[in-house]
């Protein structure tokens, strides 16, 4: 989960994470600069090679090493190679979960029962075997901790069929469950050791569980690495797990350091670090040819909305006005703001997720159509306020710059946009309360499946914030309901695409773009792939 974004209170603390994490990144970077005057060279750094040390620079968004509480980008990056999940995503392909701790898995035809036989050779870092009891404990603990990742298991019951078989059952058809359980927050912990250090999977664990401090100093997973140092302000050090049951990683040690983005560029070029995760597209230009550069769209969708509630704004709720906005935007010029590697968002679902719209379905600017729609609306030079958070940067994009480009585009159509920047918390309050006439926001996937975007439909979390009430669009509501429970892959793809096409015709949301993620690496690093959920697989690098 790269970057962070505003969501909703119905998912508990996850809403706070999405609102606050961009600020946390900014503050952490500033503190790092003030304390060190730039990146500090680690005495543990060694040249790449078998048994060497891999140094990864990133701007920290990090709170805890306890997987049951982790949902911040840096936390997911460092816990993924420490705590194995039942399923995972290989080589950055998030369209299909593949077995990890599970030797295989089987979904019942009704998508309510999922069976996972465990690998008999899987062991924790202390050498003890991974059992179904450990999986059940881990899942129940996540649910009962009621932290950021708890929503991933809403309606899910975990049971041990036998010592090496886990069964997950759901209250309703849940075809997206395999995608959710590949999330690192659902990594399996050594239940015996965690319980011995105050961990609990029982009801009330949100108050009674005392294992977090222990897990911040001594990890208890079955992954290829162990945590040997954990400092939320400076660095996390992973060392190779000698008891790992799978293919051993190349590097003995991985050091993940909290370093401002501008310093990361210098570090990669000098060999101070091997990998940078936070360069801007402009910085990437300066290192190309001297280092490897991956530059591609992220699972973050920047979007504009025109409030659908007449009580909030009789102008923005006018369907002809919404059409004028949709076709008045110059999407190619918005990509210029985002930089190389970004892509226009054809729909709310990111381009590389199952169910995403084909890029050919993306709305293209049509000024005559926009002006005609505005004329039908009966609005003469309408003036509307556009709200956005002024103190965050998402993948190098300043939302003030993006808002100014939207303002200029719509002026050509005859719509006056009044920019209303505000500090994140102030802007979030108006966004969450549904009082913004127009808003410029972003959404990053919690897990790589189109079902995470049902929140944009009428009567749902984000839909309501744009004034899109449950009864507002019967077609979209029907398609969303069918897509949520469809069990065939082909049917799911078709329904999610139809849902987005309908949203693009008459909905209040205008998907704008997916900003670029830039990963730069020393040429000595091999097998580098971008994963939209946890950046990179450090244990697969060669």
What is the rounded distance in angstroms from the CA atom of residue 397 to the CA atom of residue 395? 6
Bridge partners of residue 357, in order along the sequence: none
Q: What is the pLDDT of residue 50?
A: 55
DSSP 482-510: HHHH--SHHHHHHHHHHHHHHHHHH-SEE
167's tokens: 């069964």
Q: What does the alpha-carbon distance between residue 393 and residue 261 come to, in Å, rounded to a whole number?
A: 12
Q: What is the pLDDT of residue 261?
A: 84
Q: Which two tokens stand for residue 518?
A: 């830039």
Q: Which two tokens stand for residue 261?
A: 């983005």
- Distance in angstroms (rounded) separating the CA atoms of residues 244 and 180: 24
Contact 512, 386 (CB under 8 A): no
Do 189 and 201 form a contact (C-beta atoms < 8 A)? no
- The answer to whether the CB of 364 falls within 8 A of the CB of 356 is no
- Going from the first residue of the chain to its last (542 residues), give the mean pLDDT of each consecutive group of 10, the final group possibly shorter: 41 35 34 34 41 94 94 94 97 94 97 98 97 98 97 97 98 96 96 98 97 95 97 96 95 96 92 94 90 94 98 98 98 95 97 95 98 96 96 89 98 98 94 97 94 97 97 97 95 98 97 96 94 94 92
How do the domains of the chain map onto residue ranges?
82-206, 299-514
Question: Backbone dihedral region of 215: left (phi > 0), alpha (psi from -120 to 50 degrees) or beta?
Answer: alpha
Q: What is the DSSP letter of 129?
A: B
Helix (H) / strand (E) containing 141 = helix 132-145
Neighbours of 233 (CB within 10 A): 11
Q: Are strands 253-258 and 53-58 parallel, antiparallel or unpaired?
A: parallel
State the Cα–Cα distance between residues 409 and 414, nearest whole angstrom.
Answer: 9
Neighbours of 364 (CB within 10 A): 12
**What is the rounded CA–CA span in Å between residue 306 and residue 313?**
9
Pairing relation of β-strands 300-306 and 509-514? antiparallel
Q: CA 458, CA 362: separation in Å to the nearest integer?
A: 21
- Euclidean distance between CA atoms 403 and 23, whole angstroms: 19
Q: Based on C-alpha coordinates, what's the Rg of the chain?
A: 23
- Distance of alpha carbon 193 from its chain centroid, rounded? 30
Residue 435, pLDDT score:
97
For the domain made up of 299-514, give the CATH fold. Dipeptide-binding Protein; domain 3 (3.10.105)
Confidence (pLDDT) at 310: 98
Backbone dihedral angles phi then psi of residue 492, each to the nearest 5 degrees: -60, -45
**What is each CA distance from 95 to 179, 186, 354, 460, in whole angstroms?**
9, 19, 6, 25
Q: Is 411 helix (H, G, I), strand (E, B) or coil?
A: helix
Q: Which CATH architecture has domain 82-206?
A: Alpha-Beta Complex (3.90)
Helix axes 319-328, 489-506, angle to 10 degrees: 100
DSSP state of 514: E
DSSP conformation class of 185: G
Distance (Å, rounded) from C-alpha 138 to C-alpha 188?
A: 6
Residue found by looking up tokens 């306020």 in the block: 385
Q: CA angle, 45 as apex, 44 and 47 as ends, to 5°?
A: 135
**Residue written as token pair 């011995």:** 196
- Whole-angstrom distance, CA of residue 156 vs CA of residue 53: 40
DSSP string over 433-477 = TT--SEEEEEEE-SSSSGGGGGGGSTTSHHHHHTT--TTS-HHHH
- Kind and range of the H or E run holding 258: strand 253-258
């Amino acid at each position: 989960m790269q970057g962070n974004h505003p969501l909703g209170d119905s998912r508990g603390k996850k809403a706070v994470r999405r609102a606050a994490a961009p600020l946390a990144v900014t503050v952490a970077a500033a503190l790092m600069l003030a304390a060190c005057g730039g990146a500090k060279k680690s005495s543990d750094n060694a040249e790449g090679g078998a048994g060497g040390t891999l140094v990864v620079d990133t701007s920290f968004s990090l709170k805890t090493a306890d997987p049951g509480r982790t949902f911040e980008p840096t936390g997911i990056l460092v816990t993924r190679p420490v705590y194995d999940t039942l399923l995972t995503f290989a080589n950055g392909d998030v369209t299909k979960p593949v077995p990890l701790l599970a030797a295989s898995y089987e979904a019942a035809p009704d998508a309510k029962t999922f069976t996972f036989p465990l690998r008999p050779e899987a062991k924790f870092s202390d050498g003890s075997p991974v059992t179904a009891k450990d999986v059940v404990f881990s899942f129940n603990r996540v649910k009962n901790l009621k932290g950021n990742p708890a929503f991933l298991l809403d309606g899910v019951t975990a049971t041990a069929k036998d010592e090496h078989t886990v069964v997950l059952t759901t209250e309703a058809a849940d075809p997206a469950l395999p995608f959710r359980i590949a999330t690192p927050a659902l990594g399996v912990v050594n239940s015996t050791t965690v319980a011995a250090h105050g961990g609990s999977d029982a009801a009330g664990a949100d108050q009674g569980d005392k294992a977090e401090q222990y897990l911040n100093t001594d990890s208890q997973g079955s992954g290829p690495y162990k945590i040997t140092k954990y400092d939320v302000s400076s660095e996390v050090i992973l060392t190779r797990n000698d008891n790992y049951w799978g293919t051993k990683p190349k590097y003995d040690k991985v050091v993940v350091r909290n370093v401002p983005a501008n310093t990361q560029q210098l570090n990669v070029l000098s060999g101070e670090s091997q990998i940078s995760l936070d360069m801007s597209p402009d910085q990437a230009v300066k290192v190309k040819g001297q280092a490897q550069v991956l530059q591609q769209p992220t699972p973050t969708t920047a979007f504009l909305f025109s409030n659908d509630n007449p009580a909030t704004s009789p102008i923005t709720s006018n369907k002809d006005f919404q059409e004028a906005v949709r076709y008045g935007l110059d999407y190619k010029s918005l990509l210029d703001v985002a930089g190389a590697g970004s892509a226009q968002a054809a729909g709310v679902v990111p381009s590389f997720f199952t169910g995403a719209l084909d890029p050919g379905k993306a709305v293209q600017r049509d000024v005559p159509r926009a002006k005609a729609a505005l004329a039908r609306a009966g609005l003469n030079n309408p003036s509307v306020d556009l709200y956005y958070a002024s103190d965050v940067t998402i993948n190098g994009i300043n939302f003030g710059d993006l808002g100014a480009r939207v303002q200029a585009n719509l002026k050509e159509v005859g719509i006056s946009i009044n920019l209303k920047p505000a500090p994140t918390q102030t802007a979030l309050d108006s966004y969450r309360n549904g009082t913004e006439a127009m808003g410029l926001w972003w959404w990053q996937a919690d897990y790589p499946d189109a079902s995470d975007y049902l929140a944009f439909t009428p009567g749902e979390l984000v839909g309501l914030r744009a004034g899109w009430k449950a009864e507002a669009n019967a077609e979209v509501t029907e398609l969303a309901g069918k897509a949520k429970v469809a069990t065939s892959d082909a049917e799911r793809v078709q329904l999610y695409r139809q849902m987005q096409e309908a949203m693009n015709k008459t909905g209040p949301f205008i998907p704008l773009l997916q900003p670029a993620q830039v990963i730069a690496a020393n040429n000595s690093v091999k097998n580098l792939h971008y994963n939209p959920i946890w950046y990179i697989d450090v244990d697969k690098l060669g």
